[in-house]
Structures are given as C-alpha cells and as structure tokens.
A and B are shown apart, each in its own frame.
Chain A
C-alpha cells in the first residue's frame, strides 16, 4: 500500500481561532477518501494546506512523495484542486476556460487536450457558450474537467456538489469513480451522507481534529453506537421526550419512525422502556453513517467547548 498523502502534526490558526489542530491524515493511492465534518471544522483549511494555498503553522509529511512544505510548487503541478464556489471565468466560454487552464499548466498538445476534455464532458457543441450560463451541475462538471486536464495524481474537491441536483450529483460521482479507477487519488469534502457512502474511505473531522477514520463499516462499528428504531403512530414525535433521558445520545425522527442511539445499551433500553409497548414497535438496527456523525458531532462539542 502506497500513500498519496501522509501528513501529521498539521496546525493552522487564523487569529486566535485554532482551526486545524494536530491533524494527521493518510490517504492511500487510488482511493477516494471522503472528508466529513460540521461546517467550520477545518475541512477546507486542510485541503487548502495540502495543495499549498495556505501555509500551515506546523506539520510535516509528504504529499505524492514530496515534502509538502518545501516542495509545494512541485505538488501543485500534480494536484488538481476544485474550489467550493465555481471558480472558472463566467465571462469566458467553456472552451476558453479550458484553454486558459491548459496554458497556465503549460500543457503540450493543448488543442487535443481541450478537445478531449470537451468530448469527455459531452460539451463539444456548446463549447462557445459562456461558462456563466451553465446550470449548477454543468458548472461543477466543467470545473472538474478543468482541474484534471493536467493529469494530476491527486485530486482535492471541496464540497463539489453543494447545491447540485441528485442526477447531476450522481453523474459527477460516476466521473470521480472513473478517474479513481484510472489511479487518481481523490480527497473530497462533503456534507451528503449518500456521498460519504460512495467513498472508499471516510475521515471525520470536527473542531480541527480527526475524530474517525476508516471505511464506512469500520467507522460505524468503532463508534460503539447502539440504535433502536421505533415505529408506530406518532413515533417521530417522541424525539423531544427521549432526547434528554440518560443514555440517549440522540433521538431523531426518520420520516414517521424515530432513531434513538446511545453507547450504553442498558441505559438506552431503560430510556425507551416506557414506550416499549403497543402501539409502538422497536427494533435494533445498524446505525447509519448519519447517526454516527451526529453522535460524533455531539461528542466533539462536549470535548472542545
């Protein structure tokens, strides 16, 4: 197993806000790693430090086998970074944007590469359309095409599908999997659970610290979380009553049902006992990633606030 990213002791502060704290992260080559965590947890800052957009206060390690602090310039050449906000030129056409990127990376055979990218996107006959006039989904696909045109070995995507419809998101992810199959290492930050499940690996960070790491199943397993699902008339309304009980880490409505989770099985069962009768039906279920993340979020808050 080779590591595309292997950094540790990463720290970054803005003023008196310690945004990233002693973060260590390893990413296997060719894998898609999902970066999850609440807003303001340091995901964007970490991605920016990895691609040289921000200077870390401290930290050491390698990105693509290069010292990530001293060889930022060489890392930049082999890294594609897609920003959260659409950041191509809206007043340039699709083709002009791609040509600009090809020039900035001084790519050879520019015409062919731009042509290939357009073909891959399926935008050949809209090449002269202004990028600003594209829909959200197309903008993201264009941005992705632009940041892989120089054939990077590492791709950093910062919430690439925020505000994009489900169909466009699926197409976007199919593209990411296709790129990964070609050997590209991908780090992608997201808030969507379905996207987290599409990643080979998950890293959960909150308040600048790495809270959980591994595949989806591993993260769920290691959380030690027990979840009961309650069904019955008005079950979803029970969350308020259950939330404060000892042993209940969280109680959240899931449609007409309710999910109640906690790490202490006995306490949890005691908490739901008053409702464990007709007309309610309770079953123990495997916690979802969302259950785990919300639980982790609550936990980290306790630790850091």
Chain B
C-alpha cells in the first residue's frame, strides 16, 4: 500500500467525474429531485378520494350520514348520481374511487331500528388506495347520527343505528397481485424497451459504426424502423409471457377489453422504443444512455400508480404522473383486464399514449442527424 499511488488514482477519478458533466448532474439531481418528488408525492394512506353518491332518501339522517362520511377526510363527494346506472358508470370508468348509495328507506329503518344499511362500493382494482378509507368506515355508524338519535329515537345499549355494506368491486378479495401483475407489464416493458434501444443506438455511435452507416444512402426513418422493429417483437414476447404467467400463476382475471388492451400495448411498445431512440440521440455514450433511462424509469415506477396509490398523491404530483406514459398504460391494462373496459371507455388513456408516441417519434426524427454535425 502506498498513499501516493492511492491519491493518484483518487485524484484522477475525481477529475474524470467532474469532467463528465451529465453524470455529475445526475449524481446531484438524482437524490434531490427524487427525494423531493417522491417524499412529498407518495402517500400510502390516501385521503380525499373522489366519491359519487346516489341519495334516494331525503331524510335528515341521510344528510347527517353523508356529512359524517365527508368529515372522515377520506371521501370527497364530487358527483351526485340520479340513477344506479349513472353511479355504476362513474366507478367503472374510474372517475371516482367510491360509489355510495343511501337507499330510500334509510331514515325509516333507522328510526324503526330495522337493519338500516348504506352501500359503499369501492374500486378495489388497487386495494392499497381503498384500504384506509374502508377501515375508516367501520367507526362511522356509531358516530354519524350521535347528535340526531336523542330522546325518543335514542338507541338502547349503544347498538349502531345502521350498517355499512362495503362491496369491493373488480378485486373483491383485495388481492394485490391483481393490481401488481398488470402493472408489472408496463414497468417491465418500459425498463427493457427504453433501455435496450437507448443503449443499442448509442453503442453504434460509441463504436463508430454509425459513421459508416451515415456514409451510406440509408435514411433516418429507415434506420429507426430497422433498429426498432426487432424490439417490437421482444416487447410482444414479454407481454405474452407476463400475461400467461399472470393468468396461470396468479389467477388474474381477464375480464375482456382485448381491443383496448392490444391497442394500448402496441402504442406503449412503439412509444417506449421511440423514447429509447430519442435518448440515444442525446446521450454521448452508453453510460449516459443508461442513466437517462433510469431517470425516466424511476418516476414511472413511483408516480404512475404502480407502487403507490395514484389518488394518494397531491395534485401537482398527479399532474406529473399523468404526463408519464406508464400511468395511462396501467389504466388501460387494469381497466381492460380487471373491469373489462373497451376502446370506447378507455379512449382518454389511449389518446394520451397516442400523443406520447407522436411527440416522441417526431422529436427523435428531428434530433436524429444524417450527418455527424
């Protein structure tokens, strides 16, 4: 061991690190950005979940109950449905997380002490979103009407005046795998496809083969199609493997929605590949390409609703999340597989993916140079 020699290597390493500006920026930006972003954004006990109600009872008890539900902090009543069908649609399309029905005979049954009930339907496709809210409901019957049930209608023996029936839809047993496995499809596709193309194209520049290629009559679009097409196949094979395993090993329901699913998968694969290509036009070497891919993949994991409830994030984080293609892809996959939603229902997410593909392809084409300038 010789201190001078260690110092020599140490000094050289620091100098190289500082020269490599992008790595340097990422080393600093990674912890700061990610910590701020995810530290504030991620919330495992989401409150203020969008809720729709169908109130068929105009009595005072119904109003008090709704008030108590809102005061719990978990539910924001955003929609008032007029028919059960309207209520059903709001939850099926994912506009709301909860659909609450207060039946017409609610007040009457409470007064009579005759098994009054309210129905809370939860979109449990992602069980972690609804868990906290559902737990909060258990204390509701005791307190909701405490100020109303006095005097003649006071309950003997502290028996709860009504019962909350919770109906977990799309994933009645709250099995995490139903949520995670379709989500994994999006995450695995982004990881492999973005990274593989980013590295694949950067490698051509790094090894000098791009220079030879550019000296030939081959056109940018031809290079792009030729380079990306094999990876489309890779993506499709991964999709088949994941879906088959999801079905065989985890019994994930396949509720239908194949049209939307296929369209979504194709858009997502093409978009991810084009993004990889775009990264390769910016990165100067494979290491940078790798770092940029990781920089994209992190928020895709954390802000897309894959690992943590999307609705649990503050508005600004949801806004960022909705710019991430994986978010929309997850909505499509979960919507199609768990809820059986089709093209007509999932078009907003499909359109978002289409815009993503369009933007990224145009950027990549604009940045890809047929010269070395």
Stretch binding the partner chain, chosen from A80-88, A165-173, A187-195: A80-88
Which A residues lie within 8 Å of B213 (CB)?
104
Contacts of A81 in B (CB 8 A): 212, 215
Query: In the bound complex, what is the Cα–Cα distance between A81 and B215 (angstroms)?
Result: 7
> Any chain B CB within 8 A of the CB of A223?
no
State whether the Cβ of A18 lies closer than 8 Å to any Cβ in chain B.
no
Q: Are A53 and B211 in contact (CB under 8 A)?
A: yes
Please state if A51 and B208 are interface contacts (CB–CB under 8 Å). no
Within 8 A of B (CB), among A271-300: none
Chain A residues with Cβ below 8 Å from B217 are 73, 76-77, 104-106
Contact of A87 among B208, B370, B373 (CB under 8 A): B208
Q: When A76-B216, A76-B217, A104-B218 are in contact, do A83 and B211 touch as well, CB less than 8 Å?
A: yes
B371 at the interface (CB under 8 A from A): yes
Q: Is B207 an interface residue (CB 8 A)?
A: yes
B218 touches A90 (CB 8 A): no
- Interface flag for B152 (CB, 8 Å): no
Given contacts A76-B217, A81-B215, A101-B216, contact A53 B371 (CB under 8 A): yes
B58 interface contact, C-beta 8 A: no
Q: How many A residues, CB 8 Å from partner? A: 23
Query: Which residue from B208, B216, B371 sits with its C-beta under 8 Å from A85?
Result: B208
| Residues of chain B lying within 8 A (CB to CB) of residue A90 | 207
| Complex CA–CA separation, A101 to B218 (angstroms) | 10
Q: CB < 8 Å: which of B207, B209, B370, B372 contacts A48?
A: B372
Contacts of A73 in B (CB 8 A): 217
Q: Within the complex, what minimum Cβ distance (angstroms) separates B344 from chain A?
A: 44
Known: A53-B371, A54-B373, A55-B371. A89 touches B215 (CB 8 A): no
| Residues of chain A lying within 8 A (CB to CB) of residue B211 | 53, 83, 85, 87
Which of chain B's residues have a CB closer than 8 A to the CB of A105?
Answer: 216-217
Which of chain B's residues have a CB closer than 8 A to the CB of A89? 209
Residues facing B in A56-98 (CB within 8 A) are 73, 76-77, 79, 81, 83, 85-90
A52 at the interface (CB under 8 A from B): yes
Q: Is the CB–CB distance between B212 and A88 below 8 Å?
A: yes
**Does B214 interact with chain A (Cβ within 8 Å)?**
yes
- Over the window 190-218 of chain B, the binary record of Cβ atoms lying under 8 Å from chain A Cβ atoms (1 yes, 0 no) is 00000000000000000111011111111
Q: Which residue of B lies closest to A73 (CB)?
A: B217
Given the complex, which residues of A lie within 8 Å of B373, measured CB to CB? 54-55
Q: How far is the CB of B9 from chain A (nearest CB, A)?
A: 28
What number of residue pairs across chains A and B have CB atoms under 8 A from each other?
A: 49
Chain B 314-373 interface residues, beta-carbon cutoff 8 Å to A:
370-373
- Given the interface pairs A87-B207, A87-B209, the reply to whether A76 lies near B372 with Cβ below 8 Å is no
Q: In chain A between 82 and 135, which residues have their CB closer than 8 angstroms to a CB of chain B? A: 83, 85-90, 101, 104-106
User: Beyond A90-B207, A104-B218, A105-B217, is A52–B212 a contact (Cβ under 8 Å)?
Assistant: no
Residues of chain A within 8 A of B207, CB atoms compared: 85, 87, 90
Q: Please, which residues of chain B bring their CB within 8 A of the CB of A86? A: 208
Q: In the complex the two chains form, is A88's CB within 8 Å of B215's CB?
A: no
Give the CA-CA distance A54 to B217 in the complex, in Å: 14
A contact residues around B212 at 8 Å (CB)? 81, 83, 87-88, 147
CA–CA, A81 and B208, complex, Å: 13
In the assembled complex, which residues on chain B have CB atoms less than 8 Å from the CB atom of A76?
A: 215-217
CB distance from B200 to the nearest CB of A (A): 12
Q: How far is the CB of A195 from chain B (nearest CB, A)?
A: 22
A85 to B212, CA, bound (A): 10
Contact with A along B18-31 (1 / 0, CB 8 A): 00000000000000
A53 and B372 within 8 A (CB) = yes
A88–B204 CA distance with the chains assembled, in angstroms: 10
Beta-carbon contacts under 8 Å, B123-147 to A? none
**A101–B213 CA distance with the chains assembled, in angstroms:** 9
A116 to chain B, nearest CB (A): 19
Residues on the A chain within 8 Å of B214, using CB:
53
B368 CB to closest chain A CB, in angstroms?
14
The residues of B that contact A106 with a CB separation of less than 8 Å are: 217
How far apart sit A129 and B174, CA to CA, in the bound complex (Å)?
57
Rounded to whole angstroms, the CA-CA distance of A52 and B215 in the bound complex is 7
User: How distant is the Cα of A104 from the Cα of B216 in the complex, in angstroms?
Assistant: 7
Find chain A residues with CB under 8 A from B209 CB.
87-89
A87 / chain B contacts, CB cutoff of 8 Å: 207-209, 211-212
Contacts known (A83-B208, A87-B207, A87-B209); A52 close to B216, Cβ less than 8 A: no
Residues of B within 8 A of A77 (CB): 217
**Cα distance, A143 to B66, chains bound together (Å):** 78
Within the complex, what minimum Cβ distance (angstroms) separates A90 from chain B? 7
CB distance from A102 to the nearest CB of B (A): 11
- A114 smallest CB distance to B (angstroms): 16
Q: Are B371 and A54 in contact (CB under 8 A)?
A: yes
Task: Compute how far the CA of A83 lies from the CA of B217 in the bound complex, rounded to whole angstroms.
Answer: 16
Bitwise, A230-244 to B at CB < 8 A (1) or not (0) is 000000000000000
The complex places the Cα of A76 from the Cα of B370 at a distance, in Å, of 12
A85: chain B residues at CB < 8 Å are: 207-208, 211
In the assembled complex, the Cα of A81 lies from the Cα of B372 at a distance in Å of: 14
Nearest CB of chain B from residue A305's CB, rounded to whole Å? 26
Closest-by-CB residue of B relative to A85 is: B208
Please list the residues of chain B having a beta carbon within 8 angstroms of any beta carbon in chain A.
207-209, 211-218, 370-373
7 contacts between A and B (CB under 8 A): A53-B372, A54-B371, A83-B212, A87-B209, A88-B209, A104-B218, A105-B216
- A-side residues, CB < 8 A to B, are 48, 51-55, 73, 76-77, 79, 81, 83, 85-90, 101, 104-106, 147
The 3 closest A-B pairs by CB, nearest first: A81-B215, A87-B212, A85-B208
Instruction: Taking A53-B214, A53-B372 as given, write out 6 further A-B residue pairs in contact, using a Cβ cutoff of 8 Å, ordered by the A residue number.
Output: A52-B215, A53-B215, A85-B208, A87-B211, A88-B212, A89-B209
